[in-house]
Amino acid sequence: MSIATSLDIFLIVTTVVYTFLVLYMRWGWDRLPSVGAAQRDIRSKVSVLIAARNEEQNIGRTLDAILAQDFPKDKREIIVVDDHSTDGTAALVTTYAARGVKLIQLNEGDKLNSYKKLAISRAIAEATGDIIVTTDADCRMGTRWLSTVIGHFEQSGAVMLSSPVVYSEEVSYFERLQTLEFLYLIGLGAAGIGNHHPTTCNGANLAYRRDVFYEMGGFQGIDNVASGDDELFLHKVAEKHAEKIGFCKSREAIVYTDAKPTLRSFISQRKRWASKSTKYRDKRVVALGVSIWLFNLAFLAAAVHFVIDLPHVHVLFLGSFALKVLAELIFIAPLCGFARRSKLLWNLPLLSLVHAVYLVYIGVAGNIGKYDWKGRKVN
């Protein structure tokens, strides 16, 4: 069998597998129940936690959004952990003290690989809420965000609840492409929960019971990984409580944040996210990631062959590309509708091509070497 024939068979097999996986994820999204109006009779006390590093330009807007929540003030506390900021983040947060915002400052020096997990652990240790809600210092929320998330948390009997995160306020075409790609990632996490196999979530909009955090040993065992305060902890909880992990499928529950303004900052972020993949203990999650990566590798190889062979038409590559775009369209169209960003779908064919290059690169680069994060070199 020739190398070309072997590559063709590899492309056929991985295309079929990828198409099946994407359609299966669409089914998972459809299985998630839509969440209704925000609940008014909140029973649980909630601690909203923010780990912040050099967020002077953003955190005021985030705190204003949280303080403006349509949520009982006696059942809400806000804790910000300043992670060795070199700007005025801590000073700005102190101006919110009279409005009930508590500040904790880390003073650890350059000793750790994951300061964010330490920051969250410190905040949880001082929190008084039954439910922990984490978000980021550069996020915005509607006024019913917290009541919608906590209402669904209580009604569903969940011990952990992932909720949607969407990019907004883009200023460039590059950022709009990121918004579409990020909806794909958020959809994968939601669909995994819908299929009762939680795979991923986002710490910018995550809630879990405080007692479950301690029951699972907190971040013990994953505290040496720079990233993963959300996803790796999700996997720990899923080992014991997979059936009690939910997703809040409601527009009111969306947290909005910003895409990366430059390619360099985007690559650095995605390398940080990919760096935790070698720590997955659930082999099904590993198999899913490897399957997607192998398909994109085969697709990229076929694309190179297509270009080299011009003007001859590589029908197999075109068929694989068509199936890829069609499957992704079927999956991501309802997500774009959910986020009210359906106009972005016109960019899907281009993103589908670019996405293959980026995924193959990040799959390797994210698991070797170091990367920069807010002025730190991280393994």
The secondary structure of 241-306 as a DSSP string is HGGGEEE-B-GGG-EEE---SSHHHHHHHHHHHHTTGGG---HHHHHHHHHHHHHHHHHHHHHHHH
Q: What is the pLDDT of residue 312?
A: 62
Q: Which residue has the higher pLDDT, 132 or 5?
A: 132
What pLDDT shows up at residue 278? 64
SS3 261: coil
Are 164 and 287 found together in one domain?
Answer: no
* Tokens read off for 190: 């939601």
Total number of residues shown for the chain? 379
What's the whole-number average pLDDT of the chain?
89
**Lookup result for tokens 């980021």:** 136
Q: What is the pLDDT of residue 114?
A: 73
Give Cβ neighbours of residue 262 (< 8 Å, ≥ 6 apart): none
- Indicate whether 112 pLDDT > 70: no
**For residues 216 and 194, what is the distance between their CA atoms, to the nearest angstrom?**
22
Structural domain contains residue 70:
yes
**Residue 10: per-residue pLDDT:** 87
Q: How far apart are CA 239 and CA 258, in angstroms?
A: 32
Residue 13 scores a pLDDT above 80:
yes
Q: Residue 326: inside a domain, yes or no?
A: yes
For the stretch 39-93, pLDDT in tens is 668 899 999 999 999 999 999 999 999 999 999 999 999 999 999 899 999 999 9
Are residues 20 and 100 part of one domain? no
Mean pLDDT, residues 90-100 taken together: 96
Contacting residues for 373 by C-beta, under 8 A, at least 6 apart: 226, 268, 272
Per the CB < 8 A criterion, the answer to whether 345 and 336 are in contact is yes
The answer to whether position 377 is within a domain reads no
| Residue 80, domain CATH | 3.90.550.10
Bridge pairing between strands 131-135 and 206-209: antiparallel
State which of 258, 274, 292 marks the end of a domain: 258
Integer angstrom CA distances of residue 60 from 145, 165, 304 = 17, 19, 48
pLDDT at 154: 94
pTM: 0.91
Task: Please check the confidence at residue 216 and state whether its pLDDT lies above 70.
Answer: yes
Domain boundary at 258, 275, 300, which? Answer: 258
- Establish if 97 belongs to a structural domain: yes
Lowest mean pLDDT among 97-111, 128-142, 358-372: 358-372
Answer yes or no: are the C-beta atoms of 102 and 77 closer than 8 Å: yes
| High-pLDDT (> 90) share of the chain, % | 69
**Whether residues 16 and 92 fall in one domain:** no
The type of residue at 368 is: I
Co-location of 230 and 308 in the same domain: no
Band (pLDDT 50/70/90 cuts) for residue 310 is low
What is the C-alpha to C-alpha distance for residues 67 and 79, in angstroms, rounded to an integer? 12
Name the domain boundary from 258, 275, 297. Answer: 258
Q: Does 347 lie in the same domain as 314?
A: yes
Contact, 89 vs 59, CB < 8 A?
Answer: yes
Clarify whether residues 49 and 150 are in a common domain: yes
The answer to whether residue 38 sits within a structural domain is yes
Residue that is written with structure tokens 């969250």 in the block: 120
- The pLDDT of residue 307 is 78
Q: What is the domain count for the chain?
A: 2
For residues 239 and 361, state if they share a domain: no
Among all chains, which residue has been given the structure tokens 């002025």?
375
Stretch 171-177: mean pLDDT, rounded?
96
- Please give the Cα distance from 74 to 45 (Å, whole number): 8
Q: What is the pLDDT of residues 155-165, one digit of tens each?
A: 999 999 999 99
Confidence of residue 6 (pLDDT cuts 50, 70, 90): confident
More confident residue, 372 or 189: 189
Query: Percentage helix, strand, coil, to 5, in the chain?
Result: 55, 15, 30
Q: How far is CA 153 from CA 150, 209, 245, 294, 319, in A?
A: 5, 10, 10, 37, 43
Q: Does residue 177 sit within a domain?
A: no
**208 lies in the same domain as 138:** yes
Domain span at residue 293?
Answer: 3-28+283-366
Question: Are 80 and 113 within one domain?
Answer: yes
Whether the pLDDT of residue 303 is over 90: the answer is no
| Least reliable range by pLDDT among 126-140, 164-178, 270-284, 288-302 | 270-284
Same domain (yes/no): 14, 46: no
Question: Residue 18: is its pLDDT beyond 90?
Answer: yes
pLDDT above 70: percentage of residues in the chain: 90
The pLDDT assigned to 259 comes to 95
> Residue 225 in contact with residue 114, Cβ under 8 Å?
yes
Let me know if residue 185 belongs to a domain. Answer: no
Please report the pLDDT score of residue 314 as a whole number: 78
pLDDT at 7: 77
Which residues, 6+ apart, have CB-to-CB distance to 275 below 8 Å? 225, 226, 227, 366, 367, 371, 378, 379
Residues 182, 177: Cα–Cα separation, whole Å: 9
Domain contains 273: no
Considering the domain architecture, whether residues 83 and 116 belong to the same structural domain is answered as yes
Residues 11 and 128 in one domain: no
Chain mean position to CA 136 = 12
The token duo for 322 is 């068509």
Question: In what helix (H) or strand (E) does residue 184 lie, and over which residues does it extend?
Answer: helix 173-194
